[in-house]
Structures are given as C-alpha cells and as structure tokens.
Amino acid sequence: MKRLRLPLGLALLLALASSLPATAWSQAAEKAQSIQSTLTISLLALNDFHGNILPPSAPVLAPDAANPAGTRVAAGGAAYLSTLVRSLKAQNPERTLVVAAGDMVGASQLSSGLFHDEPTVEVLNHLGLDVASVGNHEFDRGSAELLRLQNGGCFPPAADGNAGVVGRDTCMNQGQFAGAKFRYLAANVRVTATGKTLFAPYDIRMVDGVKVGFIGLTLRDTPSMVVPSGVAGLAFEDEVATINALVPVLQSQGATVIVVLIHQGGRTTARTVQDKSCPGFAGDILPIADRLDPAVDLVVSGHTHQEYVCTRPNGLLITQSGFYGRLLTKIDLLVDRATGKVLAKDANNLVVVNDQVVKDPSGKPVALPAQFVALAPDPEMGALVRRYGDLSATISDAVIGRIAAPLDRQTNPAGESTLGAVIADAYLVGASRTQDGNRAAQIAFTNPGGIRSDLSSTLSVSFGQLFNVLPFNNTLVSMDLTGQQIVRLLEQQWERASNRGVVMSVSNGFSYTWDAAAPAGAVRGQGRRVLPGSLTLHGEPMLAEKHYRVVTNNFLADGGDGFTVFQQGKNRQTGDVDSAVVKLYLRMKGVLPVPALGRITSVNQ
C-alpha cells in the first residue's frame, strides 16, 4: 500500500497545523510583529541521533483522533529529516539555526558505524547543523577520535582493534574526510593536562542583529557510561556550576538570548508523542534546570531518549526530541528588537513521517492518522545515504541465524527481557572454554544500555540487525567473584539514581529474587533489595565465600554504569567481541526459541 504524498508546502502546513494551536506565543507574535518591534528566532533541535541515517525500525506512537490509544507511524531517516528541515528553514530564512544536544554519533547503524560515523557527520553537514553539545557516546572511541570527527582526517586502520569488521574503510568521500562543519561544544569537559576545555564551552551567533549564546555540555556522569579509554585524560565538571559561570561571560559579550544544549534529560508519562501537558515530568534534568541562572531562556536536552516540550514554573522551556531522528523540535523565540530579550517562546515536536509502511499484527498496513502526511525524501540526501547503505549492504544483509519469534528489550516486572536473556546466554557459551588454568564461566551478565535495538523480524537475522543490537564491539571479560561480591554487585543496580530499575540480564541457570519495597543497598543498615539466600546456580544455593566464574562485557567489567564490584574480579581474562559471540551462538542454535524468563523474580511490585 503506497502512502499518499502531498506537495511539500501543503504537507508541511497540514503537519504544522496539527501541532501548533493558538497559543499565547502566537498571539503575542502576531501583535508584536505587526509593528515590527520584534523578530522570531527559530531553532530546529535534535538529540540522540546515534547515526541513524537510514530510517530506523522503531515507529512513533502518534496521537490519532480515530484511535485514543495512538497509532504507530513510521518516522525518521536522514532524507526525510532533510526535507523537513529545509521546509522549516524556508519559513523563517536567515533566522533559523539547527542545534543538537549530544549523542549524534556512537551506537550507530552499520551504514554509519562501519565507516567510523563519517557518514553521520556528512549527513549532519548536509542538514545544516550549526552547533551541538557533546554527549556520552561522542566519547565511545576516545577524545582523539572525536577531535578527528570535528577537524577531519582519515581514521588510522592500525588503531582499530575490532576484528577487522569496523575500520577497514574510511575517508570514503573521494579519499578525504573534511570533518564537521558544525561546532561541537564541551563546556564541562576539561583536558586535565592543560586545564582547557576539550572544545569551546560556548558559541555566540548573530541572528538579525540579536546575539544568541549557546552553552553546550554533557552530563557529569559520562565517565561511568564510557569505557575508561574513552575518557582518559579528561575531567567532567558539574553541570549547574558550569552553566551559571558562563552566563555572565556570554552577557558581557552582548548575548541577550541564552540557550543551553545539554546531554541530560527527563521523562514524562505521556502515552503518545506531542503531548505538551507534560504529565509526570521528572528526571535528572529537573534539579539542573531549576538551579540555573534566570537569564537562561531555553534548555535543549537529550540522553533519556524521551520526547517532551515542558515549561517550568519560572517559565524556563525544556525540550527533547526523542531519538534516532524520528522527531524534530521546532522552537520559536519571540525577541524584542530593542532589548534583545525573549518575550515569548513556543516549541513543538514534529514527527519526521517517512513513506515506509507500518503493519499491524495481521500484516495489514496501518493508515496514517488524518493530520499526518509522508514527507518526500530529499534527493541529494537520499543519494548520500544510499551510497553508504550500498557499501555496507554485503555485510549488513548476510543472514547469520534464525529466531522462532521476535526478541525485544521490553522488560517484565522483574526487569528481564527476552533479548537480554539471549545475549547473556550467548556470553556464557562464548566463555565456556577453560583457558590458562581458569574455569569456564558459570554466570553471565549484560547491561540493558548496551542493547540498542530489538530483533523484531521473524526467522532470519542479518548481521546488520545484530550490529544495531550490539554496535559497540565490546569484548567479553571473565573473572572470579565470590557469592558475597555478586550480591553486592546486584545491589548496585539500584544505588545510583540513574540506574534504579535498570536490571542486568543474567544467563540461564542463575537466579535470584529482589524486593521492590526494600531500601536500595546504598542505604546502610536499612535492608537490601536482594533477598538473602535467594541466589541459586543450577538450583543449588550460592555460598558467600565461594568463588564463581562470571563473564560480562568490558564496559561493565571496567565499572561502567556504576557496577564497580566488577573491578574487584580476580583472574581476569579477555575473550572475543560480543557481536561475534552472539553470531556464533545464533548459528549453533539453528532456529533459536524465545527463552523462558523467570531467572529473576521480584516481590512487592
């Protein structure tokens, strides 16, 4: 079923009309601009693109008057995003800037990751991105590689240790890579050897006589989310102190509009996108935003992969556009020409509707909600994306295994997912050999944050799909931990605020129970989440002083996500790349059944 395509201008007007109701902002804009005393500065904002230059598989749950539960809409893809950006720029030429709040690269699709995210940088250049903050994933391969993406130059193949899959090809654009035309900002990332920030802390842009200042930064906890080599020689400073110290600096240089681009975010309980009522707005961005200098007009956030447009009681506007380029935030700032001050602000998250077809469980195409129309792809951007898609197709399309039914990251109340269970089982098999006098692994752990996509297809699994699930090329690390250390490790699942409720997947044969009503383990003397005596291995109770052989990925093994107990492991041994291990596991299994859950149980949910 082919989707109806309307002429671009009409399609855009319909899309905007559905999301821009009469507001105080629009009324103020109409009145003020009628006497030419104001101007409107528009920002088009992205975050957490993660190299999704091709349309991602995850649809958007969009509002639908005909379906109160919402309707799934296919969205994203650089060619469609480019069309929307061009159209919005045309509405307010010379006064529109494109900005981003981090994680534009890293954990990318194979079509970009295979070429060290040079394709994504080229896409963002073509998109007209002006300025972006760094995010934690910008540091996946270290600061030297991030500087290369900014400044240009070919990736040195000898520096890549990823089994020859990633890194064989670079500088695919006529043997050159010019780097990013946009400017990275890193206000709270300091090089310890020099005391200077890795990139400029801020940028000031002149827009029709008004100076707009951008402060860009990432979350302070970035080191706990990146392998140590990725942040070596860097210090990450407090977000609020950094921003507030820079506000007077920007003001002294004439900036009257101040925008923060920060890779930290929150979440709401909204069911569908475009719900500007912001139900249940919460998260780590709030204690940051609520302590900012009142001169900050806008916070463009990221990191949590959520979609929202929310206004704090003090009038501070906070936005986020979800992830993978499926939505784009259009922000309008009404500015007094005489003072340069913001008089009113408005923002809307627009769905980047592509022409892919979403099907219901019976295989029937799902009709678009009445207010949405598919965007026509930008031909020039489409050609750029196809080039990299074609170059990676041979590897991407190779079938590596079969599954009986889709495997996904959706967790049950205890925190388990079918895909997480499969990956943990593959880790265990991949570390089953006895080497250098060490035993074979008995328990495997993996982190949900390292699983970046679902295996939503039935039967055949391609390498490209597996790469999208495990894009980091982490290596397995086996080690010895005591039963007591494993209990302590499990408690760390709830100790950091950003980790609470994020349960590691475990391999078959290991089980335990946790109590949702108990205090987190960090609260000394007040109980613990993991029930004493609940840990078993193949049905046998685990002993506190006995050593067990465990395996995980190198990110966790180095203490990532706050799991510092892994750093205490003895007799550490490095194994194969995780994606190679899972690929071999799929081949061994023939048609892999959906694993039974129940390895982890919970009470008092």
Between CA 231 and CA 238, with CA 235 as vertex, the angle to 5 degrees is: 125
Rounded to whole angstroms, the Cα distance separating 201 from 303 reads 19
Dihedral angle computed from the Cα positions of residues 590, 593, 597 and 599, in that order, rounded to the nearest 10 degrees: -20
Rounded to whole angstroms, the Cα distance separating 49 from 489 reads 32
Q: How many other C-beta atoms are found inside a 10 Å radius of the C-beta of residue 153?
A: 14
| pLDDT value for 2 | 41
The one-letter code for the residue type at 385 is V
Rounded to whole angstroms, the Cα distance separating 431 from 552 reads 9
Q: How far is CA 162 from the centre of its chain?
A: 22
CATH superfamily of 8-17+37-155+170-388: Metallo-dependent phosphatases (3.60.21.10)
Q: Which residues contact 61 (CB under 8 A, 6 or more apart)?
A: 70, 71, 72, 73, 271, 272, 273
Pull the structure tokens for residue 22: 């009469």
Rounded to whole angstroms, the Cα distance separating 446 from 430 reads 13
Rounded to whole angstroms, the Cα distance separating 452 from 445 reads 16
Domain residue ranges in the chain: 8-17+37-155+170-388, 398-603
- Torsion over CA: 9, 12, 17, 21 (sign): negative
Rounded to whole angstroms, the Cα distance separating 517 from 395 reads 47
| Backbone dihedral angles phi then psi of residue 233, each to the nearest 5 degrees | 80, 10
| pLDDT value for 438 | 78
Q: Which residues contact 21 (CB under 8 A, 6 or more apart)?
A: none
Mean pLDDT, consecutive 10-residue segments, the chain of 605 residues? 41 41 56 74 98 94 95 98 98 97 96 95 98 97 97 76 46 84 98 98 98 98 93 98 98 98 97 96 97 98 97 97 98 98 98 94 91 97 95 92 94 96 97 79 96 86 94 94 96 74 92 92 62 95 97 95 94 93 95 96 93
* Strands 257-263 and 210-218, bridge-based pairing: parallel
Q: Please tell me the total number of residues recorded for the chain in this structure.
A: 605
DSSP string, 262-291: EE---B---SSTT-TT-TT-BSTHHHHHTT
Pull the structure tokens for residue 530: 């993991």
| Backbone dihedral angles phi then psi of residue 98, each to the nearest 5 degrees | -105, 125
* Strands 202-207 and 60-62, bridge-based pairing: unpaired
Instruction: Report the predicted TM-score, pTM, of the whole model to 2 decimal places.
Output: 0.88
Between the alpha carbon of residue 492 and those of residues 145, 521, 571, the distances in Å are: 31, 7, 22
Find where tokens 């010379």 sit: 94
Asked if residue 55 lies in contact with residue 356, where contact means CB atoms within 8 angstroms, the answer is yes
Rounded to whole angstroms, the Cα distance separating 46 from 53 reads 13
Fold of 398-603: 5'-nucleotidase;  domain 2 (3.90.780)
Rounded to whole angstroms, the Cα distance separating 267 from 433 reads 43
Nearest to 78 by CA among 470, 454, 386, 462: 386
Q: Spell out the SS3 assignment of 15-64.
A: HHHHHCCCCHHHHHHHHHHCCCCEEEEEEEEECCCCCCCCCCCCCEEECC
Between helix 379-396 and helix 78-91 the angle, nearest 10°, is: 160
| pLDDT value for 309 | 98
Asked if residue 171 lies in contact with residue 118, where contact means CB atoms within 8 angstroms, the answer is yes
DSSP string, 507-560: -TTEEEEEETTSPPTTSTTS--SBPTT--EETTEEPPTT-EEEEEEEHHHHTTG
Beta bridge partners of 7: none
| pLDDT value for 169 | 58
* Strands 71-73 and 60-62, bridge-based pairing: antiparallel
Asked if residue 345 lies in contact with residue 300, where contact means CB atoms within 8 angstroms, the answer is no
DSSP 590: S
Asked if residue 573 lies in contact with residue 563, where contact means CB atoms within 8 angstroms, the answer is no
First CA to last CA distance, the chain: 44
Pull the structure tokens for residue 219: 């979350």
The one-letter code for the residue type at 241 is A
